[in-house]
Structure formats: C-alpha cells, structure tokens
Amino acid sequence: MENPIISIKNVNKTFDTRKHKIQALQDINMEFGKGELVSIVGPSGCGKSTIIRLIDDIIKPTDGTITVDGLTYDNNKPISKEMIRKLGFIFQISNLYPWLTVRENVLLPLKIHGLSGSEYEANMEHLLKYVDMEKYADVYPAELSGGMSQKAGVIRGMIHKPQMLMMDEPFGALDENTRETLNIELLKIWKETGMTIIFITHNVEEAVLISQRVYVMSSHPGRVTAELKIEFDKPRDLDLITDLKFAEYCTKIENLIGRIELAQIK
C-alpha cells in the first residue's frame, strides 16, 4: 500500500506475568489506508484488542515499529498530545458516567483534549441527530437502552473529530438486530466523515458487512493468517446479508480461522 496512514511492521508483544512470559503478538504486519474501514477478526485471545491499544499508545510493543500519520512511535516515550487528538477509541461497553447526561458524556473528551468552541458544539448536535439521539441529549444513562448507550459511546469517540478511530467490539454485547442497525449507522458516519476506522470484532458477518478489507488472525500467539479485500456491486445495507457473495466471504473467513476455533467466534 502506498503511503498508509497507519503502518505496523514486524511487531511483537510479550506480557510479563509472575510465573512466565506470554507472547500476545508475533510478527504483526498491517497497513491501513487513509479513509479505510478495516476489520480485524479472530478468536478470543488472538491479540485483536492489543493491536489497537498499541496504535493508541496505551501499551508499547516489545519490538517492531508503529507509524501513524507519518510519525514512527518511540517505544521509550509517550506520543504527543497532538497525535492523541488525531485518535479516537471506542470501547466494548459505553462507559457512560451515570451522573452526567448524554450531552455531558459526549462532550467529555473535549475537556480532556482542551478543545472548545462552536465547531465542536455543532458537531455534537449533528452526531446526535445523525444517530437519532437528539431527543435524549439531556437524559441520564440509566434511562437509555443498551443500543442507545452504545450510540452515545460511539459519538463520544468522534466528538473531537479524530482522523483515525479504533473500535474495540463496540456492538458485541448487543442483540443481533440492534447490532446490525448500528453497523449501518456506522457506515453512514464513516462515509460522511472520511475517518480511518479499525474495527475489532468476533463476528464474521459483521466484519463482511461493513469492511473494505478484513485481517484474519489466529491465536497462541496472535498472528495474521490472511488479508481479504471485501467488494460488493450493491450498496452496503442489511439486504446484503442475503447475497450469495456475502455468504461466500463469510465462509472463506470462517474456514481461514479454522473449524476448531470457530466455536469461539459465534
């Protein structure tokens, strides 16, 4: 790939425990183009979440290089505040503060990044409206359904207008219908903003539905086993799930992961 916005080269990650060392990642090589939506799939314990934590500089690699937007990370120093602002992170659960309203929760990252102004206020109102949450802006999290809580968590990760967004199984705890609806809404937001999105999931169908490319990983230690380009002639919507080509992509990825590990993904 020419001039990727994120590049991971020959990365290994080992965690030290009291009894022994655990190699979480082995020789990881990945590239993500500007404006791409790419999923990483694989069984539990294969290091999917570790990869995006390395990109977000939450943890450091044992060795190898990570380059983001032209900056190669120094494994001995934290990245700058300017780089942190370019990155967004959305967790597996919404992590909304119960004593804050939806509006206050969504705006919280602006305080962390020291950002303010009408531009961000307008962005919040736009995002709330885009995901049909504007009438819940002054509601507290306890009054929200699981799907609405996750919507709030997703737009909170976008409020500071990051160039790159890491999404760590954000819809994994939701029922199938809610998850599919949020996947389509995510596609709309992605197309409008042009962000680079790295999407972590256990769900093969979810990855095929939203992604331009999919990295397939195996575990013990985590390593990349395949990279697939996902192409469809029709628009990405829920009707795509009934398409024969959709089923073929899903079957190919499932076979790559392996029948032994497949039970961990479903």
pLDDT for res 262: 47
CATH number of the domain within which 191 lies: 3.40.50.300
Let me know if 76 is exposed, middle or buried by CB neighbors in 10 A (0-12, 13-18, 19+). exposed
pLDDT tens per residue across span 192-217: 889 999 999 989 999 999 999 999 99
Sheet containing 213-218, strands listed edge to edge, beginning at the edge strand earlier in sequence: 87-90, 164-168, 196-201, 37-41, 213-218, 223-229
Torsion of CA 210, 213, 214, 215, to 10 degrees: -150
172 plus 247 within the same structural domain: yes
pLDDT for res 263: 46
24 within 8 A of 50, measured Cβ to Cβ: yes
pLDDT tens per residue across span 96-123: 899 999 999 999 988 888 888 888 888 8
- The structural domain count of the chain equals 2
| Nearest Cα residue to 183 out of 10, 191, 250 | 191
148 plus 201 within the same structural domain: no
> Is 4 part of any domain?
no
| pTM of structure | 0.89
